[in-house]
């Protein structure tokens, strides 16, 4: 069995983007987010704010797509296909 790289990339993008968006939005609503603020080191322009949740969504979509596609590619590369 092999994994679809496109499907895994899409699933990773949606999941990672949604999690980062919601976590940032909830932290901005609560006035918290000290730990999430450290993501600004990796994601330039990201801040724990309402606008930052949209920036985080964009970064999450890209990161999730890359990691999901890479995971599927690695799986297909190293796990032998069943006959």
| Predicted confidence pLDDT, tens digits, the chain (83 residues) | 889 999 999 999 999 999 999 999 999 999 888 899 999 999 999 999 999 999 999 999 999 999 999 999 999 999 987 66
Token duo for residue 9: 């990339």
Sign of torsion, CA 24 43 55 17? negative
Question: How far apart, in whole angstroms, are the C-alpha atoms of residue 75 and residue 9?
Answer: 13
Q: Considering the entire predicted model, what is its pTM?
A: 0.88
Scored b (16 or more CB within 10 A) or e, 11-23 reads: bbbeebbeebbeb
């Amino acid at each position: 069995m092999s994994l679809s790289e496109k499907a895994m990339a899409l699933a990773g993008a949606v999941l990672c983007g949604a999690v980062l968006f919601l976590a940032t939005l909830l932290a901005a609503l609560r006035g918290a987010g000290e730990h999430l603020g450290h993501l600004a080191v990796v994601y330039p322009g990201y801040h724990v704010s309402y606008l930052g949740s949209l920036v985080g969504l964009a970064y999450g979509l890209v990161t999730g797509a890359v990691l999901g596609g890479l995971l599927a590619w690695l799986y297909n590369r190293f796990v032998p296909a069943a006959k």
